[in-house]
A and B are shown apart, each in its own frame.
Chain A
């Protein structure tokens, strides 16, 4: 645990330094830009709440990827499952109108279900026809993109507007605003706790963890790989679907518009990767990513660094954190060896049971 925090810190700092250099080389006031990045994401109630609102869907897409990768299911379909969740909730929200106490749980259920069904397609193709989910989920992303695009520029189009988008969903489906705080974050935290519990305190979670480390061992030990795989894919899809729904049910737009949440899917993948599929790590990096994304707008405003800069910052953070995880290991080994050598040369003994061939 300690080592994880250390290597993450080293990785993040290295990435920020590289970002600093990139900005400085282009003549931007680099330090001030970073200050604004944090200023606009943390230092006021409004900006902190904005960061939390961004954190909410990122936690879910991050968890979606973490649950999958952590159990050896290569679900790269967060983008598609996100869109399907979002469009399903939109359609339901447009045509159904019930009191909020019923409406909101219903929409949440629809979001989870539709996301799960969409990832379920990939799972089914794998189990039934042995088609690698890594490719099918990717291809289904594009299918979902074009399909939702068709719906919002055709059947569900708000004809009063020029750009493809739907009408706002019925008010009964809007998530409440808690004094400036988007209530989506509460849903995300609840789901985070549930997933944490499943992962660390249930037999199924144990089997998934083992599958993520060595599937053959789990199989020979009697774990039902196919059944577990199906559950994982469904949960993974449900989480991504819920993330998509949040963008419609929460926030201010309450409608499905072109390019909605364009990066959340892939951000989730990056978060899971950089967190090494740990649940707590996913929460942390979701917040970190949300923070720099939120601050980017302010940075652009104040020091005119294009906000797209954070896309670069995110990807180099991933690379450096993951790389420092590896190199910290190698470095520690080297130090250990040097210490041992000194010890032996100065006549120190060797413990039993230290030999390998």
Chain B
């Protein structure tokens, strides 16, 4: 029983960063921007969140600076990809490595450590206990006492759904992704829509980074995003960018992540349990592609569908 509760709790916790990042990536998905910089946005967000929290002693500043880190990365992406017309793939690759190099460098430069930085001065996100529910046995353990961002994230998923499918911005965003020339022709500046989409993705990926370094754990480690940005991208492709689908998929990956953790104390070597989320991504892609392949016609897919 306890093991099951642990598994469910770790599922929620592991799902949150993927959900946040993929919600952000949904905006760029609909704007037809190949955003592989999510990994880097998340990593920089995680780093600046620790930076903010450590120096200010406030998790609020931690959140804000984490978001700022994500936005900063997104801004670079926007300048190069949208305004200098640099290839999105290239920009994304360079930004990811910039994030990896930059955080490693400043980790050493500012905190004089290599590998990981941990300190009691890093103030984590506070946990929320839900009144009444927290006192119910089992249910309280399942639903109460998470870092508050967990609860907010599920709310955000609903808001993103509304934003993309019910508002003026959403209509324009999806139109831009389908045909930006047509959007320009009715007097909407598609470049601005694209920039907003990238910045929104930076905002949410930054927030995902915040959760990684101030919620999931309470430290910063080199390359701590560890492929989560890419898994998020895969999740978006698999659900074709439906926010509620993302919610489901993120929980599924959270579950596999949690499962990996739970299996660690068994006879299976930890290296194999750590592979689980990546293998799960491959498996999900397998089923998705098989479904897609049933649609006949051309033998080649339109790769890079993001």
Q: Which residues of A contact B (CB under 8 A)?
A: 26, 74, 125, 129-136, 138-143, 146-147, 149-150, 153-154, 215, 219, 225-226, 266, 269-270, 273, 306, 308-312, 314-316, 318-319, 322-323, 326-327, 330
Q: Are B90 and A138 in contact (CB under 8 A)?
A: no
Q: Are B274 and A130 in contact (CB under 8 A)?
A: no
Q: Are A142 and B301 in contact (CB under 8 A)?
A: no
A139 to B305, CA, bound (A): 17
* B87 on interface, CB distance cutoff 8 Å: yes
Binds A, one of B5-13, B78-86, B182-190, B197-205: B78-86
A219 to B300, CA, bound (A): 11
User: With a CB–CB cut-off of 8 A, which chain A residues contact B56?
Assistant: none
A131 to B282, CA, bound (A): 9
Q: Are B275 and A146 in contact (CB under 8 A)?
A: yes
Q: Are B278 and A139 in contact (CB under 8 A)?
A: yes
Binds A, one of B25-33, B43-51, B92-100: B92-100
With A130-B301, A139-B282, A146-B272 as given contacts, are A322 and B237 in contact (CB-CB < 8 Å)? no
Q: Are A135 and B97 in contact (CB under 8 A)?
A: no
- Pairs across A and B, CB under 8 Å, 5 listed: A74-B89, A131-B286, A142-B275, A215-B300, A315-B94
Among B86, B105, B279, which residue has its beta carbon within 8 angstroms of that of A311?
B105
Q: Are B278 and A142 in contact (CB under 8 A)?
A: yes
With A143-B275, A311-B104, A323-B80 as given contacts, are A136 and B90 in contact (CB-CB < 8 Å)? no
Q: How far is the CB of A83 from chain B (nearest CB, A)?
A: 13
With A149-B271, A308-B108, A326-B84 as given contacts, are A132 and B91 in contact (CB-CB < 8 Å)? no
With A270-B93, A315-B101, A319-B91 as given contacts, are A225 and B272 in contact (CB-CB < 8 Å)? no
* B119 on interface, CB distance cutoff 8 Å: no
Among B86, B227, B237, B304, the most chain A Cβ lie within 10 Å of the Cβ of B86
User: With a CB–CB cut-off of 8 A, which chain B residues contact A269?
Assistant: 93
With A139-B278, A142-B227, A311-B100 as given contacts, are A130 and B90 in contact (CB-CB < 8 Å)? no
With A153-B271, A319-B94 as given contacts, are A130 and B293 in contact (CB-CB < 8 Å)? yes
User: With a CB–CB cut-off of 8 A, which chain A residues contact B105?
Assistant: 306, 308-309, 311-312
Residue of B nearest to A306 (CB): B108
Residue of B nearest to A73 (CB): B303
Q: How far is the CB of B85 from chain A (nearest CB, A)?
A: 5
Q: Are B269 and A150 in contact (CB under 8 A)?
A: yes
With A135-B234, A306-B105, A326-B86 as given contacts, are A143 and B304 in contact (CB-CB < 8 Å)? no
Q: Are B101 and A312 in contact (CB under 8 A)?
A: yes
Q: How far is the CB of B193 from chain A (nearest CB, A)?
A: 21
User: Would you list the 10 A-B pairs with minimal beta carbon distance, nearest first?
Assistant: A311-B101, A315-B98, A150-B271, A308-B105, A318-B94, A142-B278, A146-B271, A315-B97, A139-B278, A130-B289
* B292 on interface, CB distance cutoff 8 Å: yes
Residue of B nearest to A149 (CB): B271
With A129-B286, A146-B275, A318-B94 as given contacts, are A134 and B304 in contact (CB-CB < 8 Å)? yes
* B109 on interface, CB distance cutoff 8 Å: yes
Q: How far is the CB of B70 from chain A (nearest CB, A)?
A: 17
Q: Are A139 and B301 in contact (CB under 8 A)?
A: no
User: With a CB–CB cut-off of 8 A, which chain B residues contact A141?
Assistant: 227
A130 to B305, CA, bound (A): 12
A57 to B108, CA, bound (A): 27
Among A150, A219, A266, which residue has its beta carbon within 8 angstroms of that of B97?
A266
Residue of B nearest to A262 (CB): B223
User: With a CB–CB cut-off of 8 A, which chain B residues contact A149?
Assistant: 271
User: With a CB–CB cut-off of 8 A, which chain B residues contact A270?
Assistant: 93-94, 97
Secondary structure of the B contact surface, majority rule: helix
Digitize B244-272: 1 where CB-to-A-CB distance is under 8 Å, 0 elsewhere: 00000000000000000000000001011
* B2 on interface, CB distance cutoff 8 Å: no
A33 to B50, CA, bound (A): 29
A270 to B100, CA, bound (A): 13
Residue of B nearest to A315 (CB): B98
Secondary structure of the A contact surface, majority rule: helix
Q: Are A314 and B293 in contact (CB under 8 A)?
A: no
A132 to B274, CA, bound (A): 23
* B285 on interface, CB distance cutoff 8 Å: yes
Among A26, A143, A146, A316, the most chain B Cβ lie within 10 Å of the Cβ of A146
Residue of B nearest to A219 (CB): B300
Q: Are A132 and B230 in contact (CB under 8 A)?
A: no
Q: Are A315 and B227 in contact (CB under 8 A)?
A: no
Q: Are B86 and A319 in contact (CB under 8 A)?
A: yes
* B164 on interface, CB distance cutoff 8 Å: no
Among A125, A150, A308, A327, which residue has its beta carbon within 8 angstroms of that of B101?
A308
A141 to B39, CA, bound (A): 15
Q: How far is the CB of B236 from chain A (nearest CB, A)?
A: 11
Digitize B200-212: 1 where CB-to-A-CB distance is under 8 Å, 0 elsewhere: 0000000000000
Residue of B nearest to A226 (CB): B299
Q: How far is the CB of B125 from chain A (nearest CB, A)?
A: 27
Besides A146-B275, A226-B299, 6 new A-B residue pairs in contact (Cβ under 8 A), listed by A number: A135-B281, A136-B285, A225-B300, A269-B93, A270-B93, A316-B98
User: With a CB–CB cut-off of 8 A, which chain A residues contact B227?
Assistant: 138-139, 141-142
Residue of A nearest to B98 (CB): A315
User: With a CB–CB cut-off of 8 A, which chain A residues contact B104?
Assistant: 308, 311
Q: Are B87 and A322 in contact (CB under 8 A)?
A: yes
Among B86, B97, B303, which residue has its beta carbon within 8 angstroms of that of A322?
B86
Q: How far is the CB of A181 from chain B (nearest CB, A)?
A: 29
A219 to B85, CA, bound (A): 28
Residue of A nearest to B303 (CB): A132
With A74-B303, A306-B108, A308-B104 as given contacts, are A135 and B94 in contact (CB-CB < 8 Å)? no
Q: How far is the CB of A62 from chain B (nearest CB, A)?
A: 13
A135 to B229, CA, bound (A): 11
Q: Are B301 and A132 in contact (CB under 8 A)?
A: yes
Q: Are A132 and B90 in contact (CB under 8 A)?
A: no
